[in-house]
């Protein structure tokens, strides 16, 4: 699927939102929190996770990351930014950090 198509689809789906910016910001925070909850459950107690748990976590993560993507795409549209523009800019920033040796916090 094309990122620009997905982004235009998110606008169409949410065309009846009222108070869009607060809804988008809070929605992104909420869904990011769901991702954090899944990660916490995955990392809890520094224990081994069995295959059935990994499958469940992966399924949950897929849904929640999709929700995060929806809010990111729609929020980007509100500021006249394309997902492609965001992805390319992020790649450039991370490549620069990699070249500087600052990509990972240590």
pLDDT at 106 over 70: no
Confidence at residue 42, expressed as pLDDT on a 0 to 100 scale:
80
Q: In 3D, which of 37, 29, 26, 31 has the Cα closest to residue 63?
A: 31
Provide the pLDDT confidence category of residue 88 given band limits of 50, 70 and 90.
very high
pLDDT in tens, 7-63: 999 888 877 777 788 888 999 999 999 999 998 888 876 667 778 888 888 999 999
pLDDT of residue 3: 92
Tell me the whole-structure pTM to 2 decimals.
Answer: 0.83
Angle between helices 83-100 and 3-13 (to 10 degrees): 130
């Amino acid at each position: 699927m094309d990122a620009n198509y997905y982004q235009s689809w998110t606008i169409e789906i949410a065309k009846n939102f009222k108070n869009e910016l607060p809804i988008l910001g809070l929605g992104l925070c909420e869904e990011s929190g769901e991702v954090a909850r899944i990660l916490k459950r995955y990392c809890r107690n520094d224990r081994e996770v069995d295959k059935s748990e990994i499958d469940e976590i992966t399924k949950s993560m897929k849904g929640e990351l999709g929700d995060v993507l929806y809010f990111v795409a729609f929020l980007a549209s509100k500021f006249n930014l394309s997902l492609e523009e965001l992805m390319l800019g992020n790649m450039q920033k991370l490549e620069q950090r990699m070249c500087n040796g600052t990509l990972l916090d240590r």
